Chains A and B, each alone.
Chain A
Amino acid sequence: AQSVTQPDIHITVSEGASLELRCNYSYGATPYLFWYVQSPGQGLQLLLKYFSGDTLVQGIKGFEAEFKRSQSSFNLRKPSVHWSDAAEYFCAVGASLSGNTGKLIFGQGTTLQVKP
């Protein structure tokens, strides 16, 4: 069965420091991979996505992620974190249904705190 694991429930980094949020997936075929961000009381905003092609994808707000098939990972990175990046981050895999992304399977989420 498809699954997504985000090993880190909470991460705290200092403003200006680099960030890496981990995501591992289990899926039999080529996955569609996503990172979403959720601020408190809000909906989910798409940061970036991987469907195929270049394994390093760029997203909004200075985020990037790298797909590593050999490690079944899709880690999210940012070189310098801003206080406004404090939020909850979700990794998701699209369970393909006849080419459409179908349902998304989400990880448990990682809460990011940013220290001044």
Chain B
Amino acid sequence: NAGVMQNPRHLVRRRGQEARLRCSPMKGHSHVYWYRQLPEEGLKFMVYLQKENIIDESGMPKERFSAEFPKEGPSILRIQQVVRGDSAAYFCASSPPGLRQETQYFGPGTRLLVL
């Protein structure tokens, strides 16, 4: 069973460009979470999605950031008009469906560098 996959692993963008980060959850998992890790800091929750639904976006910046998890295909975290402060590692995690205590499994992350 393949783990959580994220691509690209590294992404370089110039200020003002768009960044698209992709996350494919583990097989059978329908819950996806995005976290951001700034340099020298812990992970901060951004958004929690299920297929075609945003469940909790309390950690998402109000502007420029959006996330989706379509019926088919990977989850996408999109950052529009990137700024240098967006440089960070972005991690995706997934967990199985259902209202049970479940562990989140993390992907390797996408390291975004904004020049």
Contact A44 B102 (CB under 8 A): no
Most B-side CB within 10 Å, residue of A97, A98, A103: A103
Interchain pairs with CB closer than 8 A, number: 69
Contact A103 B91 (CB under 8 A): no
Interface flag for B12 (CB, 8 Å)? no
Render B38-50 as a binary contact track against A, CB cut-off 8 A, 1 for contact: 0001111100100
Render B79-115 as a binary contact track against A, CB cut-off 8 A, 1 for contact: 0000000000001010100111111111111010000
Interface flag for A58 (CB, 8 Å)? no
Bound state CA distance, A51 and B99, in angstroms? 14
Which bracket fits the contact residues of A? 20 to 34
In chain A between 63 and 92, which residues have their CB closer than 8 angstroms to a CB of chain B? 90, 92
Interface flag for B56 (CB, 8 Å)? yes
Name the CB-closest residue of B to A91.
B42
Report if A102-B56 is in contact (Cβ < 8 Å); known contacts: A44-B91, A90-B43, A108-B41. Answer: yes
Candidates A36, A49, A105; contact of B106 at CB < 8 Å: A36
Top-5 shortest CB links A-B: A103-B45, A106-B42, A99-B99, A44-B106, A43-B108
